[in-house]
Amino acid sequence: MDIDERIKSLNECENCVDVQIKKFSPLKELINFEEYGGDYMRCQCGRRPLDVVMSHILKIMIENEIVGEKATLRRNSPVPLSDFYYSSFNPQFIQKNTLILLHEDFTPEVASILVKEVPEVKCVLKGSPRNVVGQLDKDSSINHFEILEGDDTQVNVMRTLLDEKVILVKNQSKHHIEVAMTTEEKLLRLHNYLNNNGVKKGVAIDGMCGLGALGIYLLKYGFEKVIFNDINPEMIEALKSNLEINGIEKGFEIHNSAFEDLEFEHVDLCVIDAFPGVDIDDITKKAEEIADNVVII
């Protein structure tokens, strides 16, 4: 994949015309359902305005009784996720085959209609954005969103204060929807901590590494060694491919365990990025015992 090409393709062309559709009024009162086909309002560059694409999707959901006759864009739209993010840039003009949709009432029938009739839709997931997806702790099982149609691969490209970008590839069905800090913000916070505290670039632990963003960053920052750990075996698989994608071949160790169960030697730095809502008192205590510096992201 050519990252620079993908970044460039997020921008509209000079002929793209934006359309804003009211978010709080019933969609049926706002648009003519008959007009809405796969090419309605498509620019010659191939993109359509986000509101037009979301209206097309909601129209199909209304027609198939997934949502009521009075459905509005604000209350009833599925969560639209892009298959490619650059920083926190959210494109207003959508290309074909790039949207990953999430809604708790999707059915297999409607998923296949959406993929067939709305060219922008790449993948349809069933689930609620409030669901815990992934593995919370060692006593819990691994939860996924259900893939009804398509390919849930999503690429995130993050800018950093180093000369390099960090690239994370994930399967969206295996991850909760981030509402708090973006990963790019987490990397900035980590960078500032390292610079302001003169942390030795020796050995670091990324204790709940997930896809590996923080540990990958530490290696790019110049740490001699990073010990990655995550309880979820699916994250370990994703971590391995993300190390490769970011061109990292050495200087790391990988563990698949609960952080509290691991035996570590004393290290220079321990970073912890826990699931939202997880009680991290014990984890923090352990981190402070084994590391000169502890960063809770």
Which residue ranges make up the site for Zn ion (CB under 5 A)? 13, 15-16, 43, 45
Rounded CA-CA distance 280/269 in Å is 17
CB nearer to Zn ion: pick between 91 and 129: 91
Burial of residue 188 (CB within 10 Å: 0-12, 13-18, 19+) is middle
**Closest separation between CB of residue 47 and Zn ion, Å?**
5
Nearer to Zn ion, 17 or 179 (CB): 17
Q: Which residues contact 154 (CB under 8 A, 6 or more apart)?
A: 81, 82, 83, 84, 85, 100, 169, 170, 171, 172
CA-based nearest residue to 208, from 152, 145, 261, 265:
261
Q: What's the closest the beta carbon of residue 42 comes to Zn ion, in angstroms?
A: 9
Which C-beta is closer to Zn ion: that of 16 or that of 177?
16
C-alpha distances (whole Å) from 264 to each of 3, 221, 273 are 37, 22, 18
* Number of other residues whose CB lies within 10 A of the CB of residue 121: 27
Minimum distance from residue 20 beta carbon to Zn ion (Å): 17
CB 39 → Zn ion: shortest distance, Å? 13
Task: Quote the least distance from Cβ 161 to Zn ion, whole Å.
Answer: 33
Please state the closest distance from residue 4 (CB atom) to Zn ion, in A: 19
- Own/partner contacts of 98-102, CB < 8 Å, gap of 24 or more, are 98/122, 99/53, 99/123, 100/124, 100/125, 100/150, 100/152, 100/154, 100/172, 101/57, 101/125, 102/78, 102/126, 102/127, 102/129, 102/145, 102/172, 102/177
Residue with smaller CB distance to Zn ion, 92 or 131: 92
Between 26 and 91, CB nearer to Zn ion: 91
Cβ closer to Zn ion: 43 or 188?
Answer: 43
